[in-house]
Structure 1
């Protein structure tokens, strides 16, 4: 397998067409097609599905795309290291994060790493929680943030963050707001005990799950973790969910509830995307029972972290702490510093 083949493959995937990629690479299309077929033969699996409108990557092709980008980056870094000599931490680190959390957390993390460790190259896998877990189990990521996965074979898993679930949606007539109640002053015993690890709780209205389940809901299918959790709560209470729209695409769900087509269940990390208050928009904490998501920080077990991975881990934890302390993330930090994995001591 040659680096040139990887570059060609990446160009085809990003262009979505062999002809467009050939033009961008200044390569004859038959030669490019032959290179892709040769690469597929070496890997023993098709990387693209061909049609009259272009090419689309297979599941194996999408996975190989992430690996190929990292390989090319490592090769480039190797050349730069030999040319400029040593100076500061460097390496490649892949982080796998659920996509709802990625938009809140990864911007601050990557921006800070760019300043503090410019030679560390960070690759991100942002996907469904099940795919994040799969990436960690298959060792395609060095650090993962898992959802409600406390015990995973082959992984060192630490409780990281706990966040509440909310009902969000357009409440033009205020009918749903009338079903809510303000939280009891002084907060619960749990939140009092944990104030050292969380910002002062936002005074949001609360809605019993039984009432939320009867609202017209826009939800993803049962294979998604939030829907599965909501289904379990409904089953425990003997309730049936009032599903108005069901789509797998998170963007479609967001578009629907922003258009007033129904309400959705949202974790705290995603409620910052809601419209400003005072515009007939409801955000209410779900209670009776309280729904919550717990995130776990995962690394490969039986393997100490190298210094670059530990540096990324430290920034990830520190930026999480800042987001929670500032109130930008209505969550509770569970991780203690002494629980963090140790480094190997190798650069």
Structure 2
């Protein structure tokens, strides 16, 4: 099957019009239309219903779409694998992770690994899209916070805290942890409701029968930290602290609130054993970054997802 035709089909579904798909794949509209008709002839069924408003996938087209996407992803993975084998090295693997994970965990790990490290590139993605990048072949492995898909290999890399962040002069700064029941009575600077960390905090509060009214809601972790440093309230984040803020774990009756980090990869990857070894090293490094306290943890980071 011609992979080029599959790319045209997927672009047409995504764009909804031949004009839009033409811009994506850089093929003239009349030629693109002929190529999609050719694919339909090869398959033996129509992929689209055509109208003045654009292209609408048929039932058969909708059923075929994930097949086409899977074939394209595997072709990309095959190309990546071939290049790695040809080079005879695994010194430049690509990892995909959420921006906060890249900043707080991956980048420091690359520095620690030095010349012997195998991570040579990183792809930043929203948490809900991290594992899909491995499926597509855009990255060799992933570090994420959602429950890994069963078709991929995975390991728990460790945990990171959901922090209450305050200025060093704040009475809470010297605490070992802050009970969530006490925290919700303070002026809180939290992320917007669409943000994973906010969903985690809301869920943890609801499980113990608490509610709160945010003092400030924002979509920017950096702004949340800046407002906390300015004395406007306590920010609740998973990001490492900045602006000389003190980060204090948040406790519940079940333990401190934490985020679970997973390492995820395709067992069929040509460098599978080296990826696994890298993730073991990353797990040890994460334990240094976020030493775990004695006692239990209230794991609320799996569903809904965190921002890491």
Shorter-chain-normalised TM-score: which range?
A: 0.5 to 0.7
Are the aligned partners of 2:162 and 2:259 in contact in 1 as well (CA < 8 Å)? yes
Q: CA deviation at 1:294?
A: 0.9
Q: CA deviation at 1:243?
A: 0.9
Q: From 143, 146, 157, give the equivalent of 1:145.
A: 143
Alignment-derived partner of residue 274 in structure 2: 311
Q: Deviations over 1:242-272 (max 9, x none)?
A: 31111112222222222222212233x624x
Alignment-derived partner of residue 248 in structure 1: 219
Q: Tell me how far apart the structure 2 counterparts of residues 113 and 125 of structure 1 sit (CA, whole Å).
A: 18
SS in 2 for 1:104: helix
TM-score (norm 1): 0.53
**1:25-44 maps to which residues of 2 (within 5 A)?**
40-42=25-27
Alignment-derived partner of residue 130 in structure 1: 128
Q: CA deviation at 1:223?
A: 2.3
User: Structure 1 residues 90 and 283 mapped into 2: Cα distance closer, same or farther (>3 Å)?
Assistant: closer
TM-score (norm 2): 0.59
Alignment-derived partner of residue 230 in structure 1: 201
Q: CA deviation at 1:152?
A: 1.9
Q: CA deviation at 1:99?
A: 1.9
User: Structure 1 residues 259 and 135 mapped into 2: Cα distance closer, same or farther (>3 Å)?
Assistant: farther
Q: CA deviation at 1:168?
A: 0.9
Q: Tell me how far apart the structure 1 counterparts of residues 197 and 127 of structure 2 sit (CA, whole Å).
A: 10
SS in 2 for 1:243: coil
Q: CA deviation at 1:129?
A: 1.9
Q: From 160, 163, 185, give the equivalent of 2:160.
A: 163
SS in 1 for 2:215: strand
**1:1-347 maps to which residues of 2 (within 5 A)?**
40-42=25-27, 89-90=89-90, 93-111=93-111, 115-116=115-116, 122-147=120-145, 149-170=146-167, 172=169, 174=171, 176=172, 204-267=175-238, 270-271=240-241, 273=242, 275=244, 281-289=245-253, 290-300=256-266, 303-307=267-271, 310-325=273-288, 328-331=289-292
Unmatched 5+ residue regions in structure 1?
1-36, 45-66, 183-203, 276-280, 333-347
Are the aligned partners of 2:188 and 2:214 in contact in 1 as well (CA < 8 Å)? yes
RMSD: 4.0
Q: Tell me how far apart the structure 2 counterparts of residues 242 and 152 of structure 1 sit (CA, whole Å).
A: 35
Unmatched 5+ residue regions in structure 2?
1-21, 30-72, 294-308
Are the aligned partners of 2:167 and 2:228 in contact in 1 as well (CA < 8 Å)? yes
Q: Tell me how far apart the structure 1 counterparts of residues 186 and 225 of structure 2 sit (CA, whole Å).
A: 16
